[in-house]
Amino acid sequence: TEELLRKSEKLKMAGQLAAGIAHEIRNPLTSLKGFSKLQRHATGEQADRYYQIMETEFTRIEMILDELLVLAKPNAACYKVWDVKLLAGEVAELLSSQAILNNVIIQMETGPDPCLVNCDKNQLKQVFMNVIKNAIEAMPGGGLLMVTTTVLREHVLVKVTDSGAGIPMEKMARLGEPFYTTKEKGTGLGLMVSLKIIEEHHGRMEFDSSPGRGTTVSIRLPAYQEETAFQQPS
Ligand code: ADP
Ligand code: MG
């Protein structure tokens, strides 16, 4: 975890990130340029195929830019008190069709207490989205995905556990590095952006994994402390 936090500090080095972005966007652009040229002389099925490839590449650029937008606009954050239990539930529901298609069962385990956190709702939802998506993607043959929320005295804890491939020891340190991905269609930006968001919320994110058995991502956020000033006897 210390490793991850230090890593996210390093991200402030704009040069590294800029180089990565330039590289990641140049690849699909090069491909787009090539196929748009071929496209001019193509007809029928071949033309369709070229269009398809171009569409994939446009989508890729779009995905990269969408994920980077959070980093670009840190000041646009809007903090309010929300129940993280509900936010995680909304995201789990949004991803339920993707889960079903992948034979993944999502199980929510939440206690009766609200898990109040002063947070930017959309940013936290994006974190849950990234982490739950990763969990689904770690189980290509299906499996169980558990989302649990608990309130500890000063913290709210959200855990996302999958029964997937796991993360080999030597790869742990690379999590959250910009553009680090092991997926063919990955951007390698999800965890970097998530770590950044959690850090800005004064929280922590930890990874616990046993290769071949699964992974647990724990997100700890400071619980909202209600004002006690009014309750003091006069
Ligand atoms: P992406 O999902 O686009 O690859 P992320 O930043 O979300 O990028 O994740 C980076 C990498 O971390 C993934 O490619 C994968 O190798 C690893 N990873 C993240 N979450 C999990 C998980 N739950 N199980 C196994 N590997 C994971
Ligand atoms: Mg991801």
Q: Measure Cα distances from 137 to 20, 127, 208 in Å.
A: 23, 15, 17
Q: State residue 179's pLDDT score.
A: 87
Positions in the chain short of pLDDT 50: 229-232, 234
Give the span between the Cα atoms of 194 and 126, in whole angstroms.
7
Q: State residue 234's pLDDT score.
A: 45
Q: CB within 6 Å of ligand 1 — which residues? A: 130, 134-135, 138, 162, 164-167, 175, 180-183, 186-191, 215
Quick one: angle between helices 84-94 and 121-137, nearest 10?
Answer: 50
Question: Residue-wise over 36-61: b if at least 16 C-beta within 10 A, else e?
Answer: eeebeeeeeeeeeebeebbeebeebe
Q: How many CB atoms lie within 10 A of CB 17?
A: 17
Ligand 1 atom, smallest distance to 165 CA: 25
> Is the interface score ipTM higher than 0.90?
yes
Q: Are the CB atoms for 186 and 179 separated by under 8 Å?
A: no
Structure confidence by residue, pLDDT tens digits, 188-219:
999 999 999 999 999 999 999 999 999 999 99
Give the span between the Cα atoms of 157 and 216, in whole angstroms.
12
Tell how far the Cα of 115 is from the centroid of ligand 1, in angstroms. Answer: 26
Structure confidence by residue, pLDDT tens digits, 147-168:
999 999 899 999 999 999 999 9
Q: Cite the beta strand spans of 98-226 per DSSP E.
A: 104-110, 116-120, 143-151, 155-162, 204-210, 214-222
Helix (H) or strand (E) holding 152: none
The ligand with the least distance to the CA atom of 216 is 1
Q: State residue 153's pLDDT score.
A: 86
Tell how far the Cα of 124 is from the centroid of ligand 1, in angstroms. Answer: 18
The ligand with the least distance to the CA atom of 143 is 1
Tell how far the Cα of 188 is from the centroid of ligand 2, in angstroms. Answer: 6
Q: State residue 206's pLDDT score.
A: 97
Ligand 1 atom, smallest distance to 133 CA: 2
Tell how far the Cα of 38 is from the centroid of ligand 1, in angstroms. Answer: 35
How confident is the prediction for the chain on average, in pLDDT? Answer: 89
Ligand 1 atom, smallest distance to 135 CA: 23
Give the span between the Cα atoms of 134 and 126, in whole angstroms.
12
Q: Pick the residue whose CA is nearest to atom 14 on ligand 1.
A: 181
The ligand with the least distance to the CA atom of 63 is 1
